[in-house]
Amino acid sequence: MRSGHDGTGTTRVTVAGELDIATAADFGIELARLIDDRGPNVLIDASALSFCDARGLAAITAADGLARRKGGAVTLTGVRPQLARILRAARLERLARARPAAHPAAHPWRPALGRPTADRSL
């Protein structure tokens, strides 16, 4: 995962591809690391997310719980219809807000073989 900081204390992350049983654990670990390292406010641009299952949703909600315990929140933007339906069914609409797409400095996290890496130079 690569991420950007927008100068307001919010870490911006984009996610692309599938967030599912094969990728959710690594994504969740990276979100937790970002919250610990950069602060509890995270904006996830999900506009390039093609699929999200229950494991993917669990990774996002676990990160939101961690962020809230630290005084922040995880917010989704660019939510596509499939993810919006899942959020409604789980009564988690509060995670999705009408926000601008992620800052151009944010780069997509794409599922890959092995552990995703963060751009630590930001």
As a whole number of angstroms, the distance between CA 62 and CA 120 comes to 23
Which residues have CB under 8 Å from 74's CB, separation 6+? 31, 42, 43, 44, 60, 63, 64, 67, 95
Is 0.95 topped by the overall pTM?
no
pLDDT tens column, 67-109: 999 999 999 999 998 898 889 999 988 888 754 444 444 434 4
pLDDT at 118: 38
Count the Cβ atoms, other than its own, within 10 Å of residue 111: 16
Question: Above 80 in pLDDT, residue 24?
Answer: yes
Confidence at 19, pLDDT banded by 50, 70, 90 = very high
The pair phi, psi for residue 65, each rounded to 5°, is -60, -45
